[in-house]
């Protein structure tokens, strides 16, 4: 597939029915992307994000899928190809955080923490590679966690944190495997955001404030449009110093 230079670039954002994913999809629409908005449960939020993207002049389509299941990831890839005929940017954002002590997680909660992060990122990326490898090659941005590159003890949400550490390893592995195709694969790792689960005083963050969606949008915009394609396998920390100590 050869992409037409007259066509707007297309971005797929997973988990875009709520929170950060929704903000990223709308932000990419404002930056000139048409957007494929994925959701698993938050249909109303996904439709609202699509409406807001269209108000910015973008084409937007909503897709439902459980991306922890490979057949659904493959169906999503076919649906995106049929609707847009191209994919220039994949943003693997989805992830479920369960605020429970690790030993109190049910079997379902344990599996969801893993499958909504690293498993979903793997299946989605592999399904989208034929589109992303088209010329000019696309880009991949994975959403990590501010401590994903420093595995250590955690009190809460063990499987989520293990999954995000896996996303970092997967990011590096994909960066090496896709470099010959010209696809940069990088990770953006948020710190404690204003909408994060739990309560944290702003002065607990070295920067003196909690992170915002705008902070993450800036990082994603840089990797999506401004960073050289030669920059790959990186982890861009956007946490105001949180989790560095």
How far is Cα 83 from Cα 15, in angstroms, rounded to an integer?
19
How far is Cα 114 from Cα 176, in angstroms, rounded to an integer?
23
Strands (E) in the chain, as ranges, are 10-13, 34-39, 60-64, 89-92, 139-143, 185-190, 235-238
Report yes or no: 6 and 30 within 8 Å, Cβ to Cβ. Answer: no
How far is Cα 83 from Cα 69, in angstroms, rounded to an integer?
21
Nearest to 42 by CA among 62, 67, 58, 72: 62
User: Sign (positive/negative) of CA torsion 62, 222, 141, 241?
Assistant: negative
- Catalytic residue (one of 97, 160, 181, 222): 160
Residue 137: burial class (beta carbons within 10 Å; 0-12, 13-18, 19+)? middle
Q: Decide if 160 is catalytic.
A: yes
Catalytic residues: 160
């Amino acid at each position: 597939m050869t992409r037409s230079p007259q066509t707007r670039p297309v971005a797929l954002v997973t988990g875009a029915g709520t929170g950060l994913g929704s903000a990223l999809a709308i932000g990419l629409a404002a930056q000139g992307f048409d957007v494929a908005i994925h959701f698993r449960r938050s249909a109303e939020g996904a439709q609202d994000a699509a409406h807001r993207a269209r108000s910015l002049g973008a084409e937007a389509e909503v897709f439902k899928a459980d991306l922890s299941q490979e057949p659904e990831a493959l169906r999503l890839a076919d649906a995106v190809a049929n609707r847009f005929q191209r994919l220039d940017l994949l943003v693997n954002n989805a992830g479920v955080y369960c605020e429970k002590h690790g030993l109190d997680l049910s079997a379902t909660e344990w599996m969801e923490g893993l499958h909504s992060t690293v498993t979903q990122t793997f299946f989605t990326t592999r399904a989208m590679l034929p589109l992303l490898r088209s010329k000019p090659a696309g880009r991949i941005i994975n959403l990590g966690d501010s401590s994903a590159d420093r595995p250590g003890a955690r009190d809460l949400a063990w499987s989520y944190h293990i999954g995000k550490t896996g996303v970092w390893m997967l990011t590096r592995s994909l960066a090496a495997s896709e470099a010959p195709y010209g696809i940069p694969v990088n990770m953006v790792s948020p710190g404690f955001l204003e909408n994060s689960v739990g309560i944290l005083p702003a002065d607990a963050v070295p920067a003196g404030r909690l992170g915002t969606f705008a902070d993450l949008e800036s990082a994603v915009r840089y990797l999506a449009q401004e960073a050289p394609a030669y920059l790959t396998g990186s982890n861009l920390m956007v946490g105001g110093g949180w989790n560095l100590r």
